[in-house]
Structure 1
Amino acid sequence: MKKVILFSLFIASSSALAEQTQIDAIESAAMQLDKNTLVSLTNQAQTYDKALAFYRLSITQNLMAEPDAAIKSLNNAIATLEAHTVQHPEDGEAWALLSQSYGLQIGYQPMKGAYYGPKAGKALSNAFTYAPQSPRTHLVKAVSEYNTPAIFGGSKSAALKTLDTALTLFASDTSENQWGHAEAFVWRGLANQSMNNTEAAVEDWQQALNIAPDYGWANMLISKNK
């Protein structure tokens, strides 16, 4: 019996490591705007990882001035996550990524904010219900606070505080879906920059590079603010 339990734990651990390897590949490709690798990963990955690959691919396509392709990829991410959360409503990590994806849709198509805004809010509420200690839940909240106009409840200072919490949680993150640590430093740098704390912003972006040396966004921000 003990051998069966140990074998089951080994299989579960191996599966988690395999999934994290795929997430690491998605994040590395996204940081380098490697569209071809991201396309390949959308075909290889399943469920949550597949949605993350489509989400990152969408951002990359948008940065490459391919808006139609970006919206299509984001729709694929959303469809994958919506189906997953119907079957697994307790998956807080999936709700967090879904909320972030809805928020990105608003960025692409602001006129649809009245439709996607409440959906993003509900998904984030579910993320806090099921994964309140996930650093990604707090990262998504911070991105929303940063991007939402003040008249609608957004706040750069609130985003900064939420990012502080996210980064504290990232330091001890043991999730099976580890991503976003370097990204959180970039967003905190942007929040600091918005409040004219340029020196602190550059320090945050450098911290992002310490985690992910090939992070193009962090490199670009440092170059622009030297």
Structure 2
Amino acid sequence: MKKFRIILAVVLMIVINAQLSKAQKVDSLMYKAYLLSSQSLWESALDQNENDWSLEKAIAYYGILNNTMVSSNEEKFDEFVDPALEYLESLEEQGIHKAEAMALRSSIYGFIMAYSPWKGMYYGPKSSSAIESALEKNSDSPIVNMISGTSLFYTPETFGGDKEAAVEAFEKAIALYEKANYQGWLYINTLASLGQAYQSIGQKDKAIETFEKALTVEPNFKWVSSQLLPQAQASK
């Protein structure tokens, strides 16, 4: 019996290590896809998330759709938006990573409105409701706070947008990512967003400091080094 338990423990350790290794590989692939704005790498990251009900797969869908916003590739957006929403809704129904799934769904509704502003009357309330529910479910999730900040930053003030509140949400997301020792693509993306939010409320020194911090974490962050930081420095 003792020998069997030892063998079982070894097998479990091998399985767990293999799963962790695969998760790290996918996270690394998403990081590279983000830095290079590569649609093909994003799709490869999604393909490698074979397990259902994983947060990583939900994030890969979000990354793909976010990348289409950068490249203005509406055809690719249309290809992936419905499968992404269906997957997130399935996560919510299963009660797995529910807060994060609701937050990501809220963000995707925002993407839909960005491509088709005339859909705002329908998707605006749905997006607001989803992020509010996500915050109620787990206000200590970095992903939820990141997306809450994005929503507050880009939503017109007339409809509930608040750039100072966005700064607070981004700051909380950064603190939570750092507490978890996470420096993946969502972290550096949030640093870029926080810098933009600082700049929008006139805190130019903090904006520059945040952009410089992002480049300390990732020196090859071209969006920050070639665009955001120079713009912030020129505005002083």
Q: Give the TM-score band, short-chain normalised.
A: 0.7 to 0.9
Q: Which amino acid aligns with 1:39?
A: E
Kindly indicate whether residue 151 of structure 2 is the aligned counterpart of residue 147 of structure 1. Answer: no
Kindly indicate whether residue 39 of structure 2 is the aligned counterpart of residue 32 of structure 1. Answer: no
1:197 matched to which residue of 2? 203
| Contact 2:198–2:206, Cα closer than 8 Å, also in 1 | yes
2:48 matched to which residue of 1? 44
2:71 matched to which residue of 1? 64
Residue identity over aligned pairs, in percent, reads 24
2:93 matched to which residue of 1? 86
Q: Which runs of 5+ in 2 are unaligned?
A: none
Kindly indicate whether residue 26 of structure 2 is the aligned counterpart of residue 22 of structure 1. Answer: yes
Q: Which amino acid aligns with 1:197?
A: Q
2:218 matched to which residue of 1? 212
1:118 matched to which residue of 2? 125
Q: Which SS does the other structure have where 2:179 is aligned?
A: coil
RMSD between superposed Cα atoms in Å: 2.7
Distance 1:37 1:207, change over 3 A: same
Q: Deviations for 1:61-97, whole angstroms, at most 9, x for unmatched residues?
A: 3322322222332333222212222223553222222
Partner Cα separation in structure 1 for residue 92 and residue 45 of structure 2: 21
In our comparison, the structure showing a higher alpha carbon Rg is: 2
Structure 1 position 6, deviation (Å):
7.4
| Contact 2:69–2:111, Cα closer than 8 Å, also in 1 | no
Q: Which SS does the other structure have where 1:82 is aligned?
A: helix
Q: Which amino acid aligns with 1:52?
A: I
2:81 matched to which residue of 1? 74
Kindly indicate whether residue 131 of structure 2 is the aligned counterpart of residue 131 of structure 1. Answer: no
1:225 matched to which residue of 2? 232
Distance 1:27 1:90, change over 3 A: closer
Structure 1 position 212, deviation (Å):
2.6
1:164 matched to which residue of 2? 171
Q: Deviations for 1:143-188, whole angstroms, at most 9, x for unmatched residues?
A: 111111111111111111122222211111268x965211121111
Partner Cα separation in structure 2 for residue 12 and residue 92 of structure 1: 25
Distance 1:36 1:8, change over 3 A: same
Structure 1 position 41, deviation (Å):
2.3
Partner Cα separation in structure 1 for residue 184 and residue 93 of structure 2: 22
- TM-score, normalised on structure 1? 0.84
Q: Which amino acid aligns with 2:102?
A: W
- TM-score, normalised on structure 2? 0.81
2:102 matched to which residue of 1? 95
1:186 matched to which residue of 2? 192
* More moved, 3-12 vs 47-56: 3-12
Q: Which runs of 5+ in 1 are unaligned?
A: none
| Contact 1:81–1:94, Cα closer than 8 Å, also in 2 | yes
Q: Which amino acid aligns with 1:28?
A: K
Q: Larger RCO: Structure 1 or Structure 2 (Cα < 8 Å, ≥ 6 residues apart)?
A: 1
Distance 1:20 1:101, change over 3 A: farther
The total of aligned residue pairs comes to: 225
